[in-house]
């Protein structure tokens, strides 16, 4: 008889927390029940949240920048045609042994796709929505006015007044959730932590000071082999 408790668990769970230093503006387009043109996104219990899809997409983007800076060839997301294994129109050495998942898989997948997935490879990292820990009854509706700017004339457009809903400012709201890692390569941990530390703001109107945050991050296991592996990108380019 199979006992679930005795099966090997290949999924590691880690908790992360985003502490919002300013006001947060992550809108739910088309939502009703608010005077704002762009209400803030909430879950069914009316808790404020940071969607998992937004966090994962932003983290992938930051990790791509880091790995390209280390001189690895990386595909271009989110267009499926320019992602591994198709990589239409992309140059670079994608036939490296490090890009090989297994002998059964004839395709090559760049370092980022091996973590975040692509059209033919499932993601090895999954995010929860980050949920605000504060009781929604204690958070009043905050409406901020704005106006569309004509960048060419540098003046406000006529009849372009809009209203945004944000979280209360300067209240250090905490948004907490889990990330789940499943058989990730050894270089994933330092890359994920570095990518998260590169995310200084989330949501809309970041240039206006909204959504700036700090992180409380878990202690992911990082070995010396991970750093040595990531350094191979620079070393191989120097040899060439």
Give percent of the chain with pLDDT exceeding 70.
Answer: 90
What pairs with residue 181 in β-bridges? 12, 125
Output the furthest CA–CA distance in the chain (Å, rounded): 74
Please write the tens of the pLDDT for every residue from 183-225: 999 999 999 999 999 999 998 878 878 889 999 999 988 888 9
pLDDT of residue 47 exceeding 90, the answer is yes
What pLDDT, on a 0 to 100 scale, did the predictor assign at position 240?
53
What pairs with residue 50 in β-bridges? 130
CB 114 within 8 A of CB 185: yes
Residue 107: count other Cβ atoms within 10 Å of its Cβ: 15
What pLDDT, on a 0 to 100 scale, did the predictor assign at position 151?
82
CA torsion, ordered 155, 36, 42, 199, to nearest 10 deg: 10
Q: Confidence class of residue 61 from pLDDT cuts 50, 70 and 90?
A: very high
What pLDDT, on a 0 to 100 scale, did the predictor assign at position 7?
43
What pLDDT, on a 0 to 100 scale, did the predictor assign at position 22?
92
Distances, alpha carbon 35 to alpha carbons 32, 142, 162, 208, 219, in Å: 8, 10, 10, 21, 42
> What values do phi and psi take at 111, rounded to 5?
-60, -40
What pLDDT, on a 0 to 100 scale, did the predictor assign at position 4?
44
| Residue 12: exposure state from Cβ atoms within 10 A (0-12, 13-18, ≥19) | middle
Can you give the pTM of this predicted structure? Answer: 0.86
């Amino acid at each position: 008889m199979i006992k679930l408790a005795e099966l090997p668990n290949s999924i590691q769970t880690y908790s992360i927390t985003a502490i919002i230093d300013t006001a947060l503006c992550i809108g739910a387009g088309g939502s009703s029940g608010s005077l704002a043109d762009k209400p803030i996104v909430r879950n069914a219990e009316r808790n404020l949240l940071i969607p998992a899809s937004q966090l994962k997409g932003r983290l992938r983007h930051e990790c791509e920048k880091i790995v390209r800076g280390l001189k690895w060839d990386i595909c271009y997301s989110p267009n499926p045609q320019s992602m591994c294994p198709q990589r239409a129109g992309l140059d670079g050495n994608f036939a490296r042994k490090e890009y090989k998942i297994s002998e059964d898989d004839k395709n090559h997948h760049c370092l980022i796709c091996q973590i975040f997935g692509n059209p033919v490879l499932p993601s090895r990292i999954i995010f929860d929505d980050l949920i605000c820990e504060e009781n929604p009854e204690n958070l009043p509706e905050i409406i901020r006015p704005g106006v569309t700017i004509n960048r060419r004339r540098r003046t406000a457009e006529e009849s372009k007044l809009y209203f945004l809903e944000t979280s209360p400012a300067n209240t250090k709201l905490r948004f907490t959730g889990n990330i789940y890692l499943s058989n990730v390569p050894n270089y994933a941990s330092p890359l994920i932590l570095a990518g998260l530390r590169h995310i200084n703001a989330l949501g809309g109107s970041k240039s206006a000071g909204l959504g700036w945050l700090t992180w409380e991050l878990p202690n992911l296991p990082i070995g010396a082999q991970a750093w040595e592996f990531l350094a191979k990108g620079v070393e191989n380019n120097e040899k060439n």
